[in-house]
Amino acid sequence: MKRFSIVVGDITQSDAEAIVNAANETLLGGSGVDGAIHRAAGPELLAECRTLHGCPTGQAKLTRGYRLHAKYVIHTPGPVWQGGTHGEAALLASCYRSVLTLAEAQGIGSVDFPCISTGVFGYPKAQAAVVALKAIMDFLREHDTPKTVRIICHSEGDADILRQTYNLWYAGTKDERL
């Protein structure tokens, strides 16, 4: 796969043009990835987020990256897991599509995602992997931008879940756009 990869690392150290913040609807910081990105970016990120007046679950908003290596942060509130019967999969897929659509509209060439909603929001990792990969692969098949997309996993265990899912559904693809 030329345009997509799964790696283990610290998303706050990413050199992608944009990193994705698995935010809450206030966009004012929180725990997990959200807190780490806000801490690494500095107080200017919080100040800009205040001007955005939040963001609905499944949508995305763009800010500057400030003290991060990434030029931009794309914030997307993921769904809180409620057993899978409250539209969580559709909302999670919308997070990935909204981020990629915004990146394309802004001409952003590279985007790094965390595993959205799998931390404090409790989304089961294996189920989230299926939703994330389908949304990303479908988008990349139909669009030329962004040129590269990565999922940056916090742990090797998270990466293994994503790699196994990817290998099951996408490893044999002949689509050169991916």
Measure Cα distances from 58 to 68, 96, 168 in Å. Answer: 24, 8, 26
Q: Please state, in angstroms and rounded to a whole number, the distance separating the CA atoms of residues 102 and 88.
A: 21
Indicate if 34 belongs to the active site. yes
φ, ψ for residue 13 (rounded to 5)?
-100, 5
CB 169 within 8 A of CB 4: no
DSSP secondary structure letter of residue 4? E
Catalytic residue among 10, 15, 34, 112: 34
From start to end of the chain, where are the E strands?
4-8, 18-23, 61-64, 72-77, 110-113, 148-153
Active site residues: 34
